[in-house]
């Protein structure tokens, strides 16, 4: 709690964030909102019923270490805009790597020429979606801007030393420090506009260990929308040592059993199971098209009692958080499933408009050259009332999954598969030997009906999740408490 208060005390106001985004994307490029409105009006002509323009300027910096020495560094800046015109569900879209009045007119003229919409009229009445009181969800500066190169290198070298000093069986360490600093601006045909300044910081570490002829690897990351100063020496050391311990445990792992059994899924990062198996099916594009297994089921029971899943893009400093989404709408906490009952979906502006409901601030895109779509932000299950030890003790024979990787899901059918990167046997209600080679398969809508016990130890992930959909990747957050899931299909090597 003290760390949260420390961050809050340094946060800019939303108006300050908006002013910074305006300066970066409009004033610096000699563009004003009248020119944006004119371009939108030109692109719509007499045909479209919706248009928006999304401007972005992003700086990406990365430093990497291998074998105790820095092996690479990069710095890249990219800027541009994307202009979209819609009639109903049909869209035309074009983008440019230049931000200036001439490029806006050129792209708008191209869209007007290519569009084949029936008659409609666009309005440019002044509206403003971003005049909100209160602080930003994250700091306004670049995560690594005030950090000397020597300090960045020192952090990576310290990660290497921490890993090797923690256990002599560590034979290889790789680390990467990455930062993104992005300004965005959105203007809509009706005059609504919003700006945001988005930092993102991440540390990625991979470790290889060896004992005799056996070798094992493990990798993980941590990060969020904050500066490097938020990472104390203790936070970094705890993260690295935990990663090494996970790799060492694998050296003694035995082949995983196979069959249908109860699986206890640990808290935190394992919320990626819910993200893949359930979350994608609750994004509104699949709902309105009828391709999701959850379509047409609002108000119906879809999970066991006690299961409550939310998506919340308004959390302080989290990897999946946004002050406004990529369509200019404020993010919010959306209850998706409440006590087992389906309550809502994640909406972008298109799906909300076609479905006749309110948008939820879930319109997201990878960059200015991509169309937005409904996507998750920070998606997690809320606490139950069982102690984690009680949940493990309730299983006579099964497995405990501490870490999941390699998740894949078919959004239409809900079928998923995961690799258990860190798992253990449960024998007579106790966690015993580590196992390797386990996979977990199932059907998302059916799996959440098989959750029989929910822990009281909700954790969010360390800040490493990326979500892919339709060729676009965006940063997200996941989380859950400890869960017992019955009758799961486990594939093993035993």
Domain assignment of residue 76, given as a range: 2-250
What are the backbone dihedrals phi and psi of residue 205, each rounded to the nearest 5 degrees, phi first?
-135, 135
Question: Are 269 and 243 in the same domain?
Answer: no
* DSSP single-letter state for residue 126: -
Residues across the chain = 494
Element (H, E) at 393: helix 388-393
Higher-pLDDT residue of 375 and 117 is 375
* DSSP single-letter state for residue 117: P
* DSSP single-letter state for residue 328: S
CA distance 144 to 57: 16
pTM tops 0.85, yes or no: yes
Nearest of 156, 129, 172, 186 to residue 14 by alpha carbon: 129
Identify the band that residue 131 occupies on the pLDDT scale cut at 50, 70 and 90: low
Identify the band that residue 409 occupies on the pLDDT scale cut at 50, 70 and 90: confident
Question: Are 346 and 324 in the same domain?
Answer: yes
Sign of CA dihedral 150, 153, 157, 159: positive
> What is the reported pLDDT for 124?
34
Q: What is the CATH number of the domain that holds 166?
A: 3.30.2290.10
> What is the reported pLDDT for 8?
52
Domain end (from 250, 269, 300):
250
Element (H, E) at 491: strand 483-491
For residue 413, give Cα distances in angstroms to 166, 278, 281, 293: 45, 11, 9, 7
| Assigned token pair, 132 | 């909100």
Question: Are 347 and 447 in the same domain?
Answer: yes
Q: Are strands 254-255 and 430-436 parallel, antiparallel or unpaired?
A: parallel
Question: For the chain, what is the mean pLDDT?
Answer: 92
- CA angle in degrees (0–180, nearest 5) for 326-327-332: 80
Q: Is a pLDDT exceeding 70 seen at residue 128?
A: no
CA distance 390 to 452: 12
CA distance 411 to 293: 8
CA distance 445 to 120: 41
pLDDT tens column, 195-232 = 999 999 999 999 999 999 999 999 999 999 999 989 99
Q: Are 247 and 219 in contact (CB under 8 A)?
A: no
Question: Are 356 and 243 in the same domain?
Answer: no
If one counts the domains in the chain, the total is 2
Domain end (from 250, 275, 298):
250
CA distance 440 to 207: 24
> What is the reported pLDDT for 9?
55
Q: Are 200 and 180 in contact (CB under 8 A)?
A: yes
User: What number of other Cβ atoms are within 10 A of residue 296's Cβ?
Assistant: 9
pLDDT tens column, 328-351 = 999 999 999 999 999 999 999 999
Question: Are 321 and 466 in the same domain?
Answer: yes
Question: Are 73 and 170 in the same domain?
Answer: yes
Question: Are 234 and 274 in the same domain?
Answer: no
Domain end (from 210, 227, 250):
250
Q: Where are the alpha helices (DSSP H) in 408-456?
A: 444-447
Q: Are 262 and 490 in contact (CB under 8 A)?
A: no
pLDDT (mean) for 16-26: 97
Q: What is the dihedral of CA 446, 450, 456, 457, to 10 degrees?
A: -60
Question: Are 315 and 440 in the same domain?
Answer: yes
> What is the reported pLDDT for 299?
98
Q: Where are the alpha helices (DSSP H) in 93-148?
A: 101-114
Question: Are 195 and 288 in the same domain?
Answer: no
> What is the reported pLDDT for 449?
95
CA distance 322 to 319: 9
The secondary structure of 228-261 as a DSSP string is GGG--HHHHHHHHHHHHHHHHHHTTPEEPP-EEE
> What is the reported pLDDT for 69?
87
Question: Are 105 and 206 in the same domain?
Answer: yes
Q: What is the dihedral of CA 466, 417, 435, 453, to 10 degrees?
A: 90
pLDDT tens column, 41-74 = 999 986 789 999 999 999 999 999 998 888 888 9
pLDDT tens column, 415-429 = 899 999 999 999 999
Question: Are 63 and 111 in the same domain?
Answer: yes
pLDDT tens column, 158-190 = 999 999 999 999 999 999 999 999 999 999 999
CA distance 366 to 326: 9
CA distance 403 to 405: 7
Question: Are 98 and 240 in the same domain?
Answer: yes
């Amino acid at each position: 709690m003290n760390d949260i208060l420390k961050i809050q005390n340094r946060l800019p106001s939303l108006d300050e964030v908006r002013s910074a985004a305006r300066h970066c994307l409009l004033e610096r490029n000699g563009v004003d909102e009248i020119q944006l409105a004119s371009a939108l009006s030109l692109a719509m002509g007499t045909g479209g019923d919706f248009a928006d323009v999304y401007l972005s300027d992003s700086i990406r910096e990365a430093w990497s270490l291998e074998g105790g020495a820095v092996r690479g560094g990069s710095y890249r800046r990219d800027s541009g805009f994307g202009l979209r015109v819609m009639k109903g569900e049909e869209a035309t879209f074009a983008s440019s790597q230049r931000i200036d009045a001439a490029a806006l007119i050129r792209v708008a003229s191209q869209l007007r020429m290519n569009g084949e919409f029936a008659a409609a009229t666009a309005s440019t009445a002044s509206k403003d979606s971003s005049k909100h009181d209160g602080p930003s969800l994250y700091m306004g500066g670049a995560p690594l801007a005030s950090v000397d190169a020597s300090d960045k290198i020192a952090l990576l070298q310290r990660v290497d030393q921490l890993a090797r000093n923690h256990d002599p069986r560590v034979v290889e360490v790789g680390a990467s420090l990455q930062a993104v600093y992005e300004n965005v601006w959105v203007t809509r045909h009706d005059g609504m506009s919003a700006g945001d300044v988005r930092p993102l910081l991440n540390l990625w570490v991979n470790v290889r260990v060896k004992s005799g002829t056996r070798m094992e690897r493990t990798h993980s990351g941590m990060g969020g929308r904050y500066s490097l100063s938020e990472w104390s020496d203790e936070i970094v050391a705890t993260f690295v040592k935990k990663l090494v311990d996970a790799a060492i445990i694998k050296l003694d792992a035995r082949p995983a059993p196979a069959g249908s059994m109860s699986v206890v899924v640990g808290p935190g990062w394992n919320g990626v199971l819910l993200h893949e198996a359930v979350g994608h099916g609750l994004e509104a594009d699949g709902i309105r098209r009828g391709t999701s297994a959850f379509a047409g089921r609002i108000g119906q029971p879809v999970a066991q009692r006690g299961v409550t899943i939310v998506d919340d893009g308004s959390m302080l400093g989290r990897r999946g958080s946004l002050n406004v989404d990529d369509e200019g709408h404020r993010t919010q906490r959306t209850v998706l499933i409440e006590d087992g009952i389906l309550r809502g979906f994640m909406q972008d502006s298109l799906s909300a408009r076609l479905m006749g409901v309110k948008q939820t601030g879930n319109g997201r895109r990878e960059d200015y050259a991509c169309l937005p779509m409904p996507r998750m932000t920070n998606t997690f299950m809320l606490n139950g009332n069982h102690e984690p030890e009680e949940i493990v003790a309730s299983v006579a024979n099964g497995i405990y999954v501490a870490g999941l990787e390699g998740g894949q899901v078919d959004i239409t059918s809900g079928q998923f598969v995961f690799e258990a990167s860190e798992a253990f046997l449960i024998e007579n209600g106790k966690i015993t030997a580590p196992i390797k080679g386990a996979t977990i398969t199932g059907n998302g809508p059916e799996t959440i009906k098989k959750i029989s016990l929910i822990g009281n130890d909700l954790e969010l992930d360390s800040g490493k999740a990326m979500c892919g959909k339709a060729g676009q990747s965006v940063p997200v957050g996941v989380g859950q408490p400890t869960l017992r899931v019955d009758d799961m299909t486990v594939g093993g090597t035993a």
